[in-house]
Amino acid sequence: MRRAKNTLCLLVAAVAFIACNETAEPRNEQRAERKDNLSRIDLPEIRERGKLVLLTENSSTSYYLYRGQGMGFDYELVKAFAREHDLDLEVRILEDLNDMFDLLRDGKGDLIACNLAVRSERDALANFTSPLTETRQVLVQRKPEKLANISAKALDDTLIRTWEELEGHEIYVHEYSSFHQNLKSRLAKDSIGVELIEASGNIDTEQLIRLVAEGQIDLTVADENVALLNQTYYPELDVSYALSEEEPIAWAVRKDADSLLTTLNTWIAEKRTRRRVAYTYKKYFEASKDQHARVKSPFSSLSGKRISEFDPVIQQYSGRIEWDWKLLAAMIYQESRFNPEARSWAGAFGLMQLMPLTARRFGIDTTDTREQNIRAGVDYIKYLDNFWRNRIHDPQERIKFILASYNVGPGHVQDAQRIAQYLGKNPYIWDNNVAEGLLLKSDQTYLALDGVKHGYCRGKEPYDYVKKVMTQYTMYQTMDL
């Protein structure tokens, strides 16, 4: 007997509406026929703003957090591209996978990277880069619960091994996916009684695989590389029945982003990039033991929902400065990578990397506990907040001034304000204003200005520090932690 559909409230996206409205056009066709209101953002505009925006999914292969650090096959490669082209990388997690091409078209992201198959049905929605890899589509099904002494032939007899054996089954797939398109096309040619259930876009392929493993749904379809990796997490799964030939996997950009597409393809074609792709593929798809340990760790955003072992202490002390605890965590990650034994060449120590003089000022030394190190760092942040409170009234702007001051000292930041004012910029706004003044703190011309009192500093370091902390914070905000 077919399972009761109590799972459908979680997975099905408007099945009844689609069934009743037979004249409704497929969603992809509606998208393709919309007016051409594309956001005209290509590589020159991306370079001007200094940031590449990645649209991706939260999965063990595309993007996730492990011990506070971004991980994933797609993420690592896109990050490498951004770094080589002097761009910051902002990650935006797709809340509804069915909306990915709409978000790309509307300029909410510059690049989709999440194991996308290149298919002709998607040509109207985006342009695809040269392939990074290839894979097949496979059926994901659950093995019988009692496997003791069962022969390979008996197992094959129990599992689906032919197209015809799908008769009478339900398969859960996403509407946006190439799996849905492939199955729909094949079913249109054959009179096989298979019901395609459109899974909600806020449930990704790996979550569907998990539901099959748990016995909550019968079948789903996945790319073979993703399915084989997930089989190491759930050995009760069978993923050996292929539903397609090899298909290229690539990234997608807007239809009008010709310069970005050309630059990406040039980068992908480079020998060192191909070596990087091969190494990164092995890291995430073939070194399954290491990947399994990361994904199932309590410090993985996919399993444990924790950034670090110090989360409770960070949450406790962040209230003292009225900061989101994830912002304080992002700062600590940038300071020490959550390593309490970290020491810098200049003598900074501990999770908060306090210099000895500053540490003594706030009542600690190298013998104090990790909690006390965080407490002292927070007390220093509170001091800096009080310093800037009457100077920078916008709380969000003030955070950036505090971060820069924590890294290089408030005196140098005040000098950067003076330089910014001399350049006709706003001395109370960080990005593109005081931040630019800080970059000039290594130029003797500007050190001679009236009001610049604190001498030379390598302004690029605190300039980068603020950007990195805020980027890390954005990453933490996107995850359900």
User: Cα separation of 214 and 176, whole Å?
Assistant: 24
Residues identified as active-site: 335
User: Cα separation of 17 and 277, whole Å?
Assistant: 43
Number of helices followed by number of strands (H, E) in the chain: 22, 13
Of residues 281, 257, 286, the one with CA closest to residue 115: 281
Task: Assess contact for 404 and 411: CB atoms under 8 A.
Answer: no
Q: State which H helix or E strand residue 170 sits in.
A: strand 170-174
Which residue is listed with tokens 């630019």? Answer: 436
Residues near 437 by Cβ (< 8 Å), separated by ≥ 6? Answer: 415, 416, 417, 418, 419, 420, 421, 422, 423, 425, 427, 446
Q: What are phi and psi of 117, to 5 degrees?
A: -80, 140
Helices marked H in 423-459: 435-439, 444-447
Q: What b-and-e string marks burial along 366-377, b requiring 16 or more CB atoms within 10 Å of the CB?
A: eeeebbbbbbbb
Six-digit token string for 122? 């998607």
Q: State which H helix or E strand residue 376 sits in.
A: helix 370-389
Which residue is listed with tokens 């998208």? Answer: 31
Of residues 342, 379, 381, the one with CA closest to residue 469: 381
User: Cα separation of 138 and 152, whole Å?
Assistant: 19
Which residue is listed with tokens 């990947």? Answer: 291
